Amino acid sequence: MKPSVFWRLADDIPKPMSTALMVLSIAVPFALWWLVASLDLVNDKFLPSPLQVAQALGRLWTDGFLVGDTAASIMRVTVGFALAALVSVPIGIAMGAFASVRSLLEPIIGVVRYMPPPAFIPLLVIYLGLGEAPKIALIFMGTVFFNILMIMDAVKFVPKALLETTYTLGGQRRQALFQVITPYVVPNIIDTFRINIATSWSLVVVAELVAAENGLGKRIVLAQKFFNTDEIFACLIILGVIGFALDLSLRGLMKATCKWAVD
Amino acid sequence: MHLEINNLSKQFDTSQGSVLALDDINMHVETGEFVCAVGASGSGKSTLLRLVAGLDMPTTGEITVDGQAVTGPGSDRGMIFQSYTLYPWMSVQKNVEFGLKLQGVGPKERREMASYYLDVVGLTKFARSLPKQLSGGMKQRVAIARTLASRPKIMLMDEPFGALDVQTKETMQQFMLDLWNRTGVSILMITHDVDEAVFLSQRIYVLTAHPGTIQREVFVDLPSDRDYTIRRDRAFQDTREGIMDLLRGKTAPALVS
Ligand SMILES: Nc1ncnc2c1ncn2[C@@H]1O[C@H](COP(=O)(O)OP(=O)(O)OP(=O)(O)O)[C@@H](O)[C@H]1O
Ligand SMILES: [Mg+2]
């Protein structure tokens, strides 16, 4: 029997169908939310309607909080993650390429990465105070180790024959490292960043929930104090949309720079 | 060019014990020769080629190229692997240029050389393509162009057509033979395909397995400008059957050696 188009195994479906399904993916939950809220099954204070959330969004926008808090959160993620990226690329490649560096660093990273980053917040506050530094440090700590280990793994998958070819073409070890291994793992690095930036997006909110003067996490705490669930919903939606946009832009970066690795 | 291998042996020591992969190998390749080594799986063919390439070190014996002992890999001994080894992020053109780039050749000269060798292998039209857009046979031709562009003294080939289908393989064998006739490059190729060895080479070393030793050196007494019709030739068939007999463990008195 011919399988229906819907159940094609590990194969593409027609473009119109995939577009339709993608629209449904957002539209159905949204419609359900709308329905439940409008039926008045739940108190407005607990489940605001989409309209109320839109109004809350408008309020946050006109008060200037939306731009200010979003900018604050994005700035923390950007700085913290950029630092983590800067450190993790050379260390990850070195660990993948040199068994010696791997032996030296893998045990300590293996232990530290299992210490939940939020557990470091009290220490970070003691060491770095309440400003931007502890939040950036938290994001850095929470992502750098995973970045390193994932990049290291990618390097291990560089085909040995590709390196041996390089040597028989007259290449030196240095050239093999910088002109073969490094470009080979660039797509993996971008993918690693795409996956781990999600973690940093969570951590920034955690940090702001604990102690901050602004940021989307802080806005949520304040909204809770005044029982403004519509504002909480608004912030959650903003968080989701920005996170999704980050993901999409890293996918775009991959498509633009690594044509060879995407189909 | 004069490649010489003297009393070569290679033993692998693993946790399961040691394996003698090659034992007392003596062979040579001269300028412009096309030499093949044939042997069953496990006869140490790949090991032999890796030693010549300098990717592994022999246990005893030595390998010299023009009197210079081989101590490591170098562009004077270009290697074509059975697996495809194009750099996937580089265009075909950049792949062919890459060896020259590693050796510090300037961009302009690099481009010219690469274009020339792409023309030699008939892939000028694909200069801007990515490796993933090429068929297996085309990938190997790019790899050959890349190796040739470095002007090696000898080209080493490890079952380069092993992964290809029968038709493509035959096309590639003819291509290899024409290329060799045109460029005069010295070639040492290993294969388990006796037919391929007889078709391509002037001299064949027949290896035994476990440990790999040279059982016989066979001269192929055929003209150098061959095409597929030569397979119907009596001399071709006799040589091929003779080598097959050797590999089966029988004696083959009919062979020229
Ligand atoms: N790195 C290694 N470590 C341990 N043993 C090895 C290693 N490389 C090869 N051997 C052993 O040496 C012997 C010869 O291997 P080799 O790969 O050279 O054979 P081959 O003639 O190329 O075989 P095939 O036709 O299957 O490619 C085998 O018994 C193999 O197990
Ligand atoms: Mg082999």
This model of the complex carries an ipTM of 0.93
Q: How confident is the model at residue B253 (pLDDT cuts 50, 70, 90)?
A: low
Calculate mean pLDDT across residues B96-119.
97
Calculate mean pLDDT across residues B103-128.
96
The amino acid occupying position A228 is: N
Return the structure tokens found at A48.
Answer: 């605001």
Closest by CA to B247, choosing from B42, B15, B27, is B42
Atom number of ligand 1 nearest to Cα B50: 18
What confidence tens digit (pLDDT) does each residue in B193-216 have?
999 999 999 999 999 988 999 999
| B244 vs B253: CA distance, rounded Å | 12
Are B54 and B70 spatial neighbours (Cβ–Cβ below 8 Å)? yes
Closest by CA to A97, choosing from A215, A22, A182, is A182
The rounded radius of gyration (Å) of the Cα atoms in chain B is: 18
For A57, residues 6+ apart whose C-beta sits below 8 A from its C-beta are A66, A234, A237, A238
For B13, residues 6+ apart whose C-beta sits below 8 A from its C-beta are none
Beta bridge partners of B8: B25
Ligand 1: which of B46, B188, B192, B247 to mutate, judged by most atoms within 8 Å of the beta carbon?
B46
Calculate mean pLDDT across residues B131-138.
95
Q: Whose CA is nearest to atom 7 of ligand 1?
A: B12
Closest by CA to B91, choosing from B118, B140, B126, B130, is B130
Q: How many CA atoms lie within 13 A of B81 on its CB side?
A: 19
The amino acid occupying position B16 is: Q
Give the three-state DSSP class for B158: strand
Return the structure tokens found at B228.
Answer: 């597929």
Among B79, B89, B130, whose Cβ lies nearest the Cβ of A168? Answer: B79
The rounded radius of gyration (Å) of the Cα atoms in chain A is: 23
Q: What are phi and psi of B149, to 5 degrees?
A: -60, -25
Q: How confident is the model at residue B23 (pLDDT cuts 50, 70, 90)?
A: very high
What confidence tens digit (pLDDT) does each residue in A89-101 have?
999 999 999 999 9
Return the structure tokens found at B63.
Answer: 């390998």
Atom number of ligand 1 nearest to Cα B39: 21
Residue-range domain boundaries for chain B: 1-43+56-73+193-257
Give the three-state DSSP class for A102: helix
What sections of B25-154 are H helices per DSSP? 45-53, 92-102, 107-120, 136-149
- Tell me how many helices (H) and strands (E) chain A has: 11, 0
- Residues in B touching A168 (Cβ below 8 Å): 53-55, 73-75, 77-79, 147, 156
- Residues in A touching B159 (Cβ below 8 Å): none
DSSP string, A183-194: HHHHHHHHHHHH
Q: Whose CA is nearest to atom 8 of ligand 1?
A: B47
What confidence tens digit (pLDDT) does each residue in B30-53 have?
999 999 999 999 899 999 999 999
The amino acid occupying position B213 is: T
Are A231 and A223 spatial neighbours (Cβ–Cβ below 8 Å)? yes
Give the three-state DSSP class for B99: helix
- Cis previous bond, B211, omega within 30: yes
Which residue numbers in chain A have pLDDT < 70?
A: 1-2
Element (H, E) at A168: helix A160-168
Calculate mean pLDDT across residues B178-191.
95
Interhelix angle A50-62/A229-257, nearest 10 degrees: 80
Residue whose entry in the numeric block shows the structure tokens 């040691």:
B18
Q: Is the pLDDT of residue B99 over 90?
A: yes
Return the structure tokens found at A105.
Answer: 């660093």
Q: Is the pLDDT of residue B256 over 70?
A: no
pLDDT value at residue A42:
82
Give the CA distances from residue A125 to residues A73, A138, A140, in Å, rounded to whole numbers and listed in that order. 18, 10, 15
Mutation site for A-interface testing, chosen from B102, B132, B147, B155 by largest number of A Cβ within 10 Å = B102
Interhelix angle A65-97/A182-210, nearest 10 degrees: 140
Q: Can you give the pTM of this predicted structure? A: 0.91
pLDDT value at residue B186:
97
The amino acid occupying position B175 is: F
The amino acid occupying position B222 is: L
Return the structure tokens found at B103.
Answer: 């050796």
How far, in whole angstroms, is CA B240 from its chain's centroid?
A: 19
Closest by CA to B176, choosing from B196, B192, B204, B162, is B196
pLDDT value at residue A263:
80
What confidence tens digit (pLDDT) does each residue in A145-199 have?
999 999 999 999 999 999 999 999 999 999 999 999 999 999 999 999 999 999 9
| A140 vs A135: CA distance, rounded Å | 9
Domain A64-257: give its CATH superfamily: MetI-like (1.10.3720.10)
In CATH, which of 3.30.420, 3.30.40, 3.10.28, 3.40.50 is domain B1-43+56-73+193-257? 3.40.50
